[in-house]
Homo-oligomer: A and B are copies of this chain.
């Protein structure tokens, strides 16, 4: 595996300075030109799919079909966010026309979005393409008009280097300003700190662990000028088994969840790590079916040594907690650094009394919580930390009957699924991939879907500007044909003057 030397602080600073220079030019580029750059990145990447997928396979131990589909998803993100960038709805253009004969006269005021500045992006170990170098955060930042500096994830540094080179080629083809995309290596925390504390860095995108994300968040808030950090820090994604539904389909549900828990060796942020039901014959049937299925799932390679060790440690730690029962473990022998599919169970009171059981065990592991009754299930829901997702396995009757539970669950997550699995995050506008702290550091923004562009922009009002000097999206004639709110009405029309 290729190894890359850590960049020195001076090297990182130089790259950030070039990023700022590039930003000063790029922020004025029209939406079409930004979109063209994003599409060119996708095209350059696509040309080398056969070259890079094997590199990523070696670095991440992810199987080829998984990486191939993630690669395709990455191109889709670049292309679809490029389209959203051009469409311009994310600018939330608003115009209130002057009322000169009011007392006092109302001036003409128009609002749009401008980019924040150079964005530092920290890629995810579990998504070497889609949430790394030219992944969702980078695509959103470029669409918003920001330059980007990526810190390569050390676990897939060669893949990252390859993607960075594709971005550089696309930048040269389109004569993008020198420094529009920077790429740095650094295995220690110092590189990250240099990025986040540099005065020219104006926002941060991150996908990874709680400790990593929280450190960036704290550094950013301790700056002389605090900057926003969009850190997605994982989740245990609780699944609530409601009584009627459980009675109807304990076995089907168990099978569906055995697959979801072990998908991609359990290495998804949306992996269902907690399943909550009412103790009794139905839940026993569910657990039996889940156990039977889990036992037959072969252990598989984890992303890298660090992740494999963390899974082994965290799994062992969870299983050895008092009153926790190991329910099922894959019967197929595991090689070193493989994740062993595992189900444990505990009572609700055990869960409520032990914060360790609330922590994510990143890998193919899930804990079944047995509640005495629905009241206790509500107590569990009330005690739940912020989550990316929550799932209700429920009939319509269950939802209506347990309204308080449903409201409580909604309050603690960013996406709420009925009768499905949380794994599988669609890239579309209606997707919210986010959630209350500690799932993310900013519950108001998504890191999946084109609404993520807004993370890297801020509104500015233009008061009393002559038409020809306004940004295109605010001009009288609406040359970009964007949807705008004019005097409180949404329209794509030019202004009627």
- With A428-B109, A461-B414: A396-B444 Cβ-Cβ less than 8 Å: no
Q: Is A411 an interface residue when CB atoms closer than 8 A count as contact? A: yes
Which of B96, B417, B490 has a CB less than 8 Å from the CB of A490? B490
Q: Is A106 an interface residue when CB atoms closer than 8 A count as contact? A: yes
A residues at B contact (CB < 8 Å):
24, 27-28, 87, 89, 92, 94-96, 104, 106-107, 109-111, 114, 116-117, 217-218, 221, 225-226, 228, 385-386, 396, 399-400, 407, 410-411, 413-420, 424, 426, 428-432, 434, 436-438, 441-444, 446, 451, 454, 457-466, 468-469, 483, 485, 488, 490
Do residues A458 and B443 form an inter-chain contact, with CB atoms below 8 A?
Answer: yes
CB distance from A84 to the nearest CB of B (A): 8
Do residues B396 and A468 form an inter-chain contact, with CB atoms below 8 A?
Answer: yes
CA A434 – CA B458 in complex, angstroms? Answer: 10
Chain B residue nearest to A450 in the complex (CB): B488
Do residues B463 and A416 form an inter-chain contact, with CB atoms below 8 A?
Answer: yes
Do residues A459 and B434 form an inter-chain contact, with CB atoms below 8 A?
Answer: yes
Do residues A96 and B396 form an inter-chain contact, with CB atoms below 8 A?
Answer: no
Chain B residue nearest to A422 in the complex (CB): B463
CB distance from A211 to the nearest CB of B (A): 15
Which of B28, B116, B226, B461 has a CB less than 8 Å from the CB of A431? B461
Can you add 15 more A-B contacts, CB < 8 Å, to A111-B430, A111-B432, A417-B464? A87-B488, A95-B430, A96-B426, A107-B417, A107-B420, A109-B426, A109-B430, A228-B442, A416-B463, A418-B464, A429-B485, A431-B461, A446-B459, A451-B459, A483-B490
CB distance from A17 to the nearest CB of B (A): 14
CA A102 – CA B458 in complex, angstroms? Answer: 36
11 intermolecular pairs with C-beta atoms under 8 Å apart? A24-B407, A87-B488, A92-B451, A94-B430, A96-B431, A106-B426, A228-B444, A396-B466, A400-B469, A416-B463, A420-B463
In the assembled complex, which residues on chain B have CB atoms less than 8 Å from the CB atom of A460? 410, 413-416, 432
Q: Which of A104, A111, A416, A434 has the most CB of B within 10 A?
A: A111
Do residues B27 and A96 form an inter-chain contact, with CB atoms below 8 A?
Answer: no
CA A396 – CA B470 in complex, angstroms? Answer: 11
CA A106 – CA B226 in complex, angstroms? Answer: 39
Do residues B418 and A466 form an inter-chain contact, with CB atoms below 8 A?
Answer: yes
Do residues A424 and B104 form an inter-chain contact, with CB atoms below 8 A?
Answer: yes
CB distance from A390 to the nearest CB of B (A): 10
Do residues B444 and A114 form an inter-chain contact, with CB atoms below 8 A?
Answer: no
CA A194 – CA B497 in complex, angstroms? Answer: 52
Do residues B430 and A461 form an inter-chain contact, with CB atoms below 8 A?
Answer: yes
CA A118 – CA B429 in complex, angstroms? Answer: 28
Chain B residue nearest to A417 in the complex (CB): B463
In the assembled complex, which residues on chain B have CB atoms less than 8 Å from the CB atom of A109? 426, 428, 430-431
Lowest 8 CB-CB distances: which A-B pairs, in order?
A: A415-B461, A94-B430, A432-B461, A109-B430, A417-B463, A96-B430, A96-B428, A432-B459
CB distance from A144 to the nearest CB of B (A): 11
CA A53 – CA B3 in complex, angstroms? Answer: 72
CA A438 – CA B426 in complex, angstroms? Answer: 37
- With A24-B407, A438-B225: A463-B415 Cβ-Cβ less than 8 Å: yes
Do residues A226 and B416 form an inter-chain contact, with CB atoms below 8 A?
Answer: no
Chain B residue nearest to A474 in the complex (CB): B430
